[in-house]
Amino acid sequence: MTNGRQDRRYLWLGPGAAWLILLMLFAVSLGSAYLPLGAGNLAVNLGIAAVMLAVLAAVLMDLRNSVALVRIVAAAGLFWIIIMFALTFSDFLTRHY
């Protein structure tokens, strides 16, 4: 029989680690905003955002341990959000002001 206190500690271990990783990535993102990288700032911050998304999906959404159908639905949602952003930006870029 396992100790209840030990089980609670392991229950918070994954989300706590994800929270610390997200805080560190936020600090890196904030720090990169003050670096004069020119167009590189966009690439660096998009890369940091992609890592944050992966942490959120793997740990907090528990896609690591989910069934295949849930992973497919998450991938389909990501696919459609990419399409919506692409259509929005194509509309914005083709407007003449």
Model-level pTM?
Answer: 0.71
Residues 37, 54: Cα–Cα separation, whole Å: 25
DSSP state of 34: T
Residue 50 has a pLDDT of: 93
**What confidence score (pLDDT) does residue 86 get?**
94
- pLDDT, tens only, 13-71: 888 999 999 999 999 999 998 999 888 898 999 999 999 999 998 888 888 888 999 99
* pLDDT at residue 64 in the model: 83
pLDDT in tens, 68-86: 999 999 999 999 999 999 9
